[in-house]
Amino acid sequence: MPAPLPLSQQALRTADSPISYFIQKAIETKGLISLAAGLVDESSFPTADIAAVVAAILGDPESARMALQYGSTQGYPKLREQIVNMVCDADGVRPADANLSAQDVILTTGSQQLLYLLGEALFDPGDIVICEAPSYFVYHGVLQTRGVRTLSVPMDAGGMDVDALEALLIKLEASGEIAKLKLIYTVDYYQNPTGLTLAEERRPRLVELVKRFGKRHRILILEDAAYRELRYDGRDLPSIKKFDPTNQYVIYTSTFSKPCAPGLKTGYALLPRDLLGVVLNLKGNHDFGSSNLAQHIISRLLANGAYSRHVETLRGVYRTKRDAMLAALTEEFADMPGVTWTVPAGGLYVWATFPDSIPTGPDSTFVKRCLEEGVLYVPGEFGHVVDEFGRKPLTETRLSFGVSCPEQLAEGIRRMRRACDGVKEPAKRVEKRVGVLVG
């Protein structure tokens, strides 16, 4: 036996993603309907549009040389310009009035790389980050790697409860721990995992709160707008970034993975200027630039109108899928006491809560019964950190309507209903959550 590996503390703190097992199970199990995977719809990929722009890029010697060469660490300038215009257009502001230009944009290998780079730029072990409860579980992994203490704030139908956030900030100030608080993380449009959106009036309040409590050092807001463009009902809400006209408090990040194609693995962020340089230095060490070809492809899709047409098409596709999942939930679960679910206005996820008699965790009878029936979900507890009393909710599930077709979604929900029969476990350490669910 060789001697053990001399691993870093950081590596030792990093665990395999809890969802890997579920993805593996979905691959292995024939006929399984996976409501677990966060993948996007494959039948609507803009294949022809991408093929056409790739042919155009490679068909011209000059553009081929540009796209196949290394790019810069910060990313293709034209695409950065298009992004700043796109985000500012969505918010109805001129870039100059928001103190933003292409200089403030960074392109990354998916927005996930940005989340990771920011962790390197900002956090030391013992620092505090506040997240929504529940939150994007992959981000919890990033925080764990950095040794961060994650605190959470409950959500209701309007997303993060900002009154509860204020109460937490007051508490942290009183205990002196505010000195450790670096960042507040929110997935504010059609959140992964709940599908909930931060209410409009809460957006400026978040900025006011970090200004009020960030007197000794700046407390940043990380606005993860990964699902903003996947909107099926209502109007687009202003970003939190819009309420930061000096570009000092809010990091806005989003991605082309969801509204276009994850295979291009291109994300972006608008950063406060003094943070951008730090992140660029770190990215220089990581890869000194993300895929230049992918950036050129996306830039052309934005320029020739294919991108916006595609987003429009996708909205129709996902609206139909969401409606199919919601109709099936009503059909199967309306008569079952204690089962509730969110009605997301966009994104890819519905969040369903079961009664205390049906725990949903990775070792639960329910998950086993679901596998027997041929359906899989993500246990909601993966999205939670334990609260100050060591508890987390244990009867929630994330149901994704991204990949399966409407008929499979309906069948998946029918199978979940059948799986409920016969499950009557005494719920241990279950914390009931109120106010979030509207189904």
Ligand X SMILES: Cc1ncc(COP(=O)(O)O)c(C=O)c1O
Question: Which residue's CB is nearer to ligand X, number 257 or number 404?
Answer: 257
Biggest CA–CA distance in the chain, Å, is: 68
Question: Which residue's CB is nearer to ligand X, number 118 or number 169?
Answer: 118
Site string for ligand X, 218-237 (x = CB under 6 A): ------x-x-----------
Kindly tell me which residue out of 22, 76, 136, 185 binds ligand X, with binding defined by CB under 6 A: 136
What is the size of the binding site for ligand X (CB under 6 A)? 13
Pair type for strands 267-270 and 250-255: antiparallel
Closest approach of Cβ 188 to ligand X, in Å?
Answer: 10
Closest approach of Cβ 128 to ligand X, in Å?
Answer: 20
Kindly tell me which residue out of 152, 192, 291, 397 binds ligand X, with binding defined by CB under 6 A: 192
User: Which residue bears the tokens 């966009």?
Assistant: 346
State yes or no: residue 110 binds ligand X (CB under 6 A).
yes
Closest approach of Cβ 136 to ligand X, in Å?
Answer: 4
Question: 218: which 2 tokens?
Answer: 């700046």
State yes or no: residue 111 binds ligand X (CB under 6 A).
yes
DSSP code of residue 52:
H
Closest approach of Cβ 417 to ligand X, in Å?
Answer: 27
State yes or no: residue 18 binds ligand X (CB under 6 A).
no
Kindly tell me which residue out of 262, 355, 406, 439 binds ligand X, with binding defined by CB under 6 A: 262
In whole angstroms, what is the distance from residue 252 CA to residue 249 CA? Answer: 10
What is the footprint of ligand X within residues 36-55 (CB under 6 A)? 38
The three-class DSSP label of residue 165 is helix
In whole angstroms, what is the distance from residue 97 CA to residue 251 CA? Answer: 17
In whole angstroms, what is the distance from residue 127 CA to residue 123 CA? Answer: 6
Residue 19's alpha-carbon distances to 117, 189, 308, 381, in angstroms, are: 22, 22, 32, 11
In whole angstroms, what is the distance from residue 317 CA to residue 191 CA? Answer: 19
Kindly tell me which residue out of 102, 148, 169, 187 binds ligand X, with binding defined by CB under 6 A: 187
Q: Using the rule CB under 6 A, give the single segment among 9-17, 64-72, 109-117, 155-163 that binds ligand X.
A: 109-117
State yes or no: residue 197 binds ligand X (CB under 6 A).
no
Q: Which residue is nearest to ligand X (CB)?
A: 110
Site string for ligand X, 410-439 (x = CB under 6 A): ------------------------------
Identity of residue 192: N
Q: Using the rule CB under 6 A, give the single segment among 90-98, 196-204, 255-263, 300-308 that binds ligand X.
A: 255-263
Long-range contacts of 63-71 (CB under 8 A, 24+ apart): 63/296, 66/292, 66/296, 67/292, 67/293, 67/296, 67/297, 68/292, 68/293, 69/292, 70/288, 70/289, 70/292, 71/289, 71/290, 71/292, 71/295
Closest by Cα among 212, 158, 150 to 182: 150
Kindly tell me which residue out of 34, 112, 291, 364 binds ligand X, with binding defined by CB under 6 A: 112
State yes or no: residue 255 binds ligand X (CB under 6 A).
yes
Spatial contact of 110 and 255, defined as CB atoms under 8 Å apart: yes
Which residues contact ligand X by CB under 6 A?
Answer: 38, 110-112, 136, 187, 192, 224, 226, 255, 257, 262, 267
